[in-house]
Structure 1
Amino acid sequence: MKKLALSLAFCLYASAQVLRVGITPYPNATILENIKDDLKELGYELKIVEFNDYILPNLALNDGELDANMYQHKPFLEDFNESKGTDLVAVANVFLPPMAAYSKKIKDLKELKNGALVYIPNDPTNESRALDILEAAGLIKTNKEVKFRSVIDITENPLNLDIKELEAAQVPRVLDECDLAVINTNYALAAKLNPTKDSIYLEDLNSPYVNVIAVKKGNENNEEVKALIKVIKTPKIKNLLEEQFKGAIIPAF
């Protein structure tokens, strides 16, 4: 009987369908590592494919190298489709990682001096989002008629801030060199920075920038996609986010 049970278990494992999900680092990997066994019970072997930029995960998804990805918000996804000619869709909300401004040189934005050096992400949606934060903090004003704004759309800059654009993953690495840096939460957490504890200005929690699971259009109702959503949108993962990240990551389901 034991041999038969082991044999059946082996056959089930061997026949498990591989589910390939692309992510950028922490906290996405933490979430997916905690659903591997749940997916295995549903007949899927989860393969986590990690990327260190925001472009390749969508290209890989569009090319069929991935079944889904989980790393971006809807404004970024919509802009990517428009600029790259891809046809990707969001199928589920997962969490909100509030973007924040950090500094190792000042404790309050009022301490910023004329000509202070500020780094922000350089991809269209996250740059616009970072500028929203600087504007909400009263540091600049921008042209609101532009959908995705960049530094050229700054209309008022009373402190003459030297705002430089840099690839999002690289921004934490220049924190020692600048006066202020606006950092995406996944890269902040990877650099051991907690938005609610270590930042000096935090994005409003009513932000539309909720991270989603995305798939190629036409695959929204695939069984493996439904399985992925099912095992993520559970009290188990909600509690994981709330307990482990303590406000740095907010469940969106």
Structure 2
Amino acid sequence: MRKNIKITAAVAATSALALALTACGSSSDPAAKKDGGKPDTDAALVVGASPSPHADILNFVKDNLAQKAGLKLQVKEFTDYVLPNKATQDGQIDANYFQHVPYLDDFNKKNGTDVVPVVNVHLEPLGLYSKKHKALTELTSGSTVALPNDPTNEGRALHLLADNGVIVLKDGVGVAATLADVKDAKGLKFKELEAASVPRALTDVDAAVINGNYALEADLKPAKDALVLEKGENNPYANILAVKKGNENDPRIQKLAKLLNSPEVKKFIEDKYDGSVIPAFGAPTKG
């Protein structure tokens, strides 16, 4: 039986930032700084994003809404979950849109960065997928399940499995659950992988817990293909627009935040993703 829906995000590669920036998106540089390092609010706003659905949503705004709002918008695509925050912290891009608040909080703590959320935009489903099995009951002792290996998403993955009776976690385990918190694995084996690599391992394992954006990029349809999905109710993992602390009130950021929470974007998300991604507008949950 399939269930309802939620987001995503994970950890990633360490290739050179310059290569990541030039390999994807526009070749233009981020906004030049003026007035003692403050962003040039007349320059184009450069936003780093995962390809799908984040860059898709931003490109919809760019092509349909930005000009009328007086916003020049450029989109830089990243295929990992580390470089966008580093580029935002360093001022190489003006903002990013790829992550949820729990991931951002963990990243800031570990890297000494001060990137902050501006506005919620959408939820993506973290789901359990299989090319070999059609039901959870077919996962038996000896089956191998791939998991994203970053702290926030591995915890989410383990809770998804526990909530659906696949494993048992120790009492009182919070969102940052690890394999050490598994009380009863019911004979399952686990393979921890970088989130972006999990879909490629799907044919090599019995099942895999995959972040929503990476599922979409792998031509999976979360609402139809997942054995189970996270529930959307009271879910803290909305994907956010984020900036370096102090840039929240940049007029360009405020324009983009308003556009990302607009009725037009809501309709675009609902029409394009058919329940596999859902709007989750509003103020971010405090980490």
Q: Provide TM-score, normalisation by structure 1.
A: 0.90
Aligned twin of 1:140: 167
Residue 19 (structure 1) aligns with: 45
CA contact (8 A) 2:147 2:157 kept: yes
The code of the aligned residue for 2:241 comes to I
Whether the aligned pair in 2 keeps the contact of 1:116 and 1:162 (CA below 8 Å) is: yes
- For 2:210, give the aligned amino acid: I
Is the contact made by 1:16 and 1:40 (CA closer than 8 Å) also made in structure 2? no
1:112 aligns with 2:128: no
Residue in 2 that maps onto 1:121: 148
Query: Matched residue pairs, number?
Result: 238
Counterparts of 1:67-82 in structure 2, within 5 Å, are 67-82=94-109
- Could you tell me whether the CA contact under 8 Å between 1:99 and 1:185 is conserved in 2? yes
* 1:48 maps onto 2:75 in alignment: yes
User: How far apart, in 2, do the equivalents of 1:184 and 1:103 lie?
Assistant: 14
Bigger mean CA deviation after superposition, 179-188 or 25-34: 25-34
Higher relative contact order, chain-length normalized (CA < 8 Å, sep 6+): 2
Q: Deviations over 1:167-204 (max 9, x none)?
A: 10110001111111000010000111111100111111
Say if 2:183 is the partner of 1:155: yes
Pairing 1:65–2:96 present: no
Gaps of 5+ in 2: 1-40, 282-287
Give the whole-Å Cα distance in 2 for the aligned partners of 1:154 and 1:20: 42
**Aligned twin of 1:84:** 111
Q: Write out aligned runs for 1:89-108 (5 A).
A: 89-108=116-135
* Structure 1 SS opposite 2:91: coil
User: Pick from 240, 245, 252: which aligns with 2:268?
Assistant: 240
Contact 1:25 1:187 in 2 (8 A): no
Bigger-Rg structure (1/2): 1
Deviation of residue 152 (structure 1)? 2.1
Where in structure 2 are the equivalents of 1:165-204 lying within 5 Å?
165-204=192-231
Task: Give CA deviations for 1:101-150 in whole Å, capped at 9, x if unaligned.
Answer: 00011110001121101001011101111111011111112243455122
Distance apart, 1:42 and its partner CA: 3.4
Q: Is the 8 A contact 1:98 1:249 kept in 2?
A: yes
Q: Is the 8 A contact 1:16 1:43 kept in 2?
A: no
Residues 118 and 178 of structure 1 are in contact (CA less than 8 Å); yes or no, is this contact kept in structure 2?
yes
Higher mean alpha-carbon deviation, 44-53 vs 174-183, is at 44-53
Q: 2 CA distance for matches of 1:84 and 1:153? A: 25
Identity value in percent:
47
What's the C-alpha RMSD, in Å, of the aligned pairs? 1.4
User: In structure 2, what residue type is equivalent to 1:83?
Assistant: K
SS class of match (2:204): coil
Q: How far has the Cα of 1:227 moved from its partner?
A: 1.1
Distance 1:104 1:147, change over 3 A: closer
Quick check: 1:118–1:164 contact (8 Å CA) kept in 2? yes
Tell me which moved more, 41-50 or 61-70.
41-50
2:29 maps to which residue? none
Distance 2:173 2:205 in 1: 30
CA distance in structure 2 between the partners assigned to 1:61 and 1:141 by the alignment: 39
Q: Quick check: 2:121–2:238 contact (8 Å CA) kept in 1?
A: yes
User: Cα distance, 1:219 vs. partner?
Assistant: 0.8
Q: Secondary structure of the equivalent of 1:213?
A: strand
Q: Is the 8 A contact 1:118 1:163 kept in 2?
A: yes
Determine the structure 1 residue equivalent to 2:284: none
Q: Is the 8 A contact 1:17 1:44 kept in 2?
A: no
TM value normalised by structure 2: 0.80
- Flag structure 1 segments of 5+ consecutive residues without an equivalent: 1-14
AA aligned to 2:122 is: F
Residue number in structure 1 paired with 2:59 = 33
Aligned-residue offset at 1:244: 0.9
1:226 and 2:254 correspond: yes
Deviation at 1:233, TM superposition (A): 1.2
